[in-house]
Structure formats: structure tokens, C-alpha cells
Copies of this chain bind each other. A is one copy, B any other.
Amino acid sequence: MPDNRTMVKRTREEAQATRESLLAAALQVFRERGVAHTRLVDVAERAGVTRGAIYWHFRDKAELFQAVCEHGTLPVEALLAEASQSIQRDPLATVRQLALMALIQLAQHADTQAMFDVIFHKCEFTEELAPVVAKNDADRDACLSRVQQLFDQAVASGQLPPDTDTLLATHGLHAYMVGLMHEWVLSPQSYDLAACAGPLLDTYLSGLATRPPVCRPRTI
């Protein structure tokens, strides 16, 4: 068992392990104290090192936070690519599958729950976190435009009514997803997300089919 105080230098793999444990420790401390109130010494101690290790692997707290975000985020692009190639003929089912996988991922992985808890409730999105915000916005816009494409296809194929405002429908679904995650991480015991995600999604999608949003409310 190596002595961390005297035996300083580690091999490359050990250094990578140090980096990983720093990311995990940062996620925990961020969740407990909030990002802005987190002191780097707490992160270091949680990971069993000193601040020197943090300043070696990351420039400052902002870069550490950015690394935490990029490390733990669910692979949106992969999900999008996979879902869009799988069921080409049923765009609504594709959307459903996409959203369902995200919710299931959240329900089943503690790290994902911690990530979204930090992002939603333990973080201030200000100027110094601009790169993270920019990446989030880019991912969100890509996801939203892809979903809107799917909704357009659903309209074309008759799965959704012809007067559907697909932009509004997309914003609505996105809001629904964000709200479900936002609130569920606050009290995961309030209901079984993994079991209820499907029915919850079906309720909204059924609403899209029977009474789709149109900006000019139609006269019955």
C-alpha cells in the first residue's frame, strides 16, 4: 500500500485514476455545497489528494466543472443517431423511444441523478461558466431541431393532425422532459420514474395526436 504523502509521483494510469476520482469527488461536493460555495480543498480532500492535484489536472474550478459536465452527460448524439436510424417508418415511436431512454437513464443511474441535481439546483449559470452554457445550448438546439423534424414527418405520415404546430409541440415536449427531470431529482421517492416514464410520455403524445398545439387557437 503506497504512501501518498512521501511517494508523490504516480504512473500514467494512476494519474488518470486520480483525475477520475477528482471528477467523482467534485460531483459529490458540488451536489452537497453547490458549485459556487465549493472550496477546492474540499474536493481535493474528498479525493484523497491536495489542491495541487486539482491545479495540475484543471486550470480552475470552472474547468473542473466543465470536465464534470462533459464526463457525466448522457451521450445525446449517440442516442439521437441510434434512434433516428432504428425506426425510420414510425417517427412518433422514435421520439417516444428517445425520451424514454433519457428518463430511464436518469432513473437507474445515481451519477446521472447527481449530475442533473447539480445542473438544475446546485449551480448558477453565469458568465464564468459560459463554455458549459454554450455547449448545453448547442446540444439542446440540435436535439430540438431533430425532434421537430420527426414531428414534421409524423404530420406528413398522418400520425399527427395536419394543422399541428410542430415547433410548439417540440417546445412542449422539451419542457415536459425538463420539468420531469427537474422535479423528480428533488424527490426520487415520490414515484417510480422507471415504471411511470412510459405512461407519462404517452399521455403527452396522445394529447399531441388528439389536440395538437396551434398558435392561433382553432375555432373548434
Contacts and interface: CB of A to CB of B under 8 A. Distances in A.
Interface of A: 32-37, 121-126, 165, 167-169, 171-172, 174-180, 182-184, 190-192, 195-196, 198-200, 202-208, 210-215, 217
A18 to B, nearest CB: 27
A206 B198 contact: no
A183 B103 CA distance: 18
Nearest to A195: B215
The list of the 4 closest CB pairs from A to B, nearest first, reads: A207-B207, A179-B179, A175-B179, A34-B124
B215 A192 contact: yes
A144 to B, nearest CB: 10
Tally of this chain's copies: 2
A176 B195 CA distance: 19
B213 A35 contact: no
B192 A182 contact: no
12 contacts: A34-B124, A123-B124, A168-B196, A171-B183, A172-B200, A177-B179, A200-B213, A203-B208, A204-B207, A206-B210, A207-B207, A207-B211
Contact of A122 (B125, B175, B211): B125
A202 B214 CA distance: 10
Nearest to A216: B195
Nearest to A171: B191
A193 to B, nearest CB: 10
Contact of A37 (B126, B195, B199, B204): B126
